[in-house]
Structure 1
Amino acid sequence: MKEIIQKKLEEIEKQEHVKIILAIESGSRAWGFESADSDYDVRFIYVREPEMYLRLDPVRDVIEWQLDEVFDISGWDIKKALQLLYKSNPTLFEWINSPIVYKETIEGRELRDLSKQYFDVKKSVMHYLNMASSTFESYLQDKSVKLKKYFYALRPILASKYALENKTQPPIKYNDLMDTMLEDKLKTEVNHLLELKMKSKETEYIPVVDHLNQYIEENINKIKNYANGIAESKFDWEELNLYFLKLVQQKSNDI
């Protein structure tokens, strides 16, 4: 499958006249708890020809390449990505730190290094907190719930706790978060649910697990109270501007 995805990336570069500097897997496969029928969420960051950044008319900054039962492939222009990096966008941080990489150029590695200067603890925590709260309120209130939704609530809670404790981007893989941030008394049961999820379809339902719901709700409230008192970081544009200028000035044969 990796070779198929890499060929699709080559097609995008040829047809869109772009250079992809980073392409990764996002979502459940990157998190390490994909279901038997999970699709492939491929995300990439690309650079256009230098003259495209000097046009008076706007150029679309997103490429949406494929969306079907197997693939969900889309990417962001480097200018969009850097503007989001300045805002410490948590989704972009997840892309940059994905453990599943389909393509990474020298420029992509430089972006990974640069991103470390723009991590904001509060924005990261609030992002994950909103994910956990939304999932809990929308999907975990009935007597029978989708199995996968427990992990869509648990992972952001553990990520929030990690960011608060370590002041850095949380690990992307769920097992890494669980090993360090989940209470030992819950690990056996959560591991059992994880094994069940990976053998099941995306639509698998199970009876609600009351003590897990209690754990999720209590931690959402604790994290929210703590995060409200954290100040947001302030960043400078200079390093991002220098990096962007360097990219668009390059006369690479594959752009």
Structure 2
Amino acid sequence: MSMPSIWMIGDIQGCCGSLETLLSQPDIQEDPDAHFWFAGDLVNRGPQSLATLRRIMSLGDRATVVLGNHDLHLLAMAAGVRKTGKKDTLDEILAADDAQDIIDWLRFQPLAHYEFGHLLVHAGVLPQWDAEQTIELACEVEDALQSPDWKKHLQLMYGNSPDQWDERLKGPDRLRVIINALTRVRFCDKQGRMLLNVKTEPSPEDKSLIPWFNLSKRATRDVTVVFGHWSTLGLKLDNDVICLDSGCLWGGHLTAVRLQDHAVVQVPCAQTLDPRED
């Protein structure tokens, strides 16, 4: 019996209509047993965050999800440690009859997944980490989110410091670096420090901003790292990195890439936000 297709899908951010259109495409529908890997940021900014979560949850074991920064923001709101932002579209989730079930499901999702030579994260990995260590470090955060004290851990999640990996880090500092790498990083400097406030597209002229995947001696070059989070980078298909975020929220596309052969399926999306508002 052949292995089911695995479709890796970029940031949805509450655009459930686009997700339904993508899932209905002939190349995806032809395998009724297909599985789906979601690269995080399932919710927020788009108009249908609640419907998006319910749809993905309905896929059961056919869905593999890693958490993104917007998903963690929802958990922080549910924990009472973050307030609603002016661009958030999460209130309908927290007001839903099944809100507790949704929040419990979300906080039990991983921050990294490795299988079939592909490492799935939301944003990136630090150069010192190979695939095995990435999974181990993600599990440290997952244990915190799944613990009875998960709300307390979320209180300590936010901040840009420390900005560099050190194996000796402990406690909240250690978890914060792991979270920031897996859910927020785009650029680093030459020393591997995360530059977390920069969201632009890469520029060959600016040598001070190095995309995390271009850092020298990156230990994950022997696998394919699959990520989203970077709409200004857009779809990127290389042997060792795949970026799935093609700007669905900004009137771009929602993208799926088949793991087995890296075939691409995209659907155009209505513009939900002006990129200048981000």
Q: Same fold (TM over 0.5)?
A: no
Q: TM-score, normalised by structure 1?
A: 0.32
Bigger radius of gyration, 1 or 2? 1
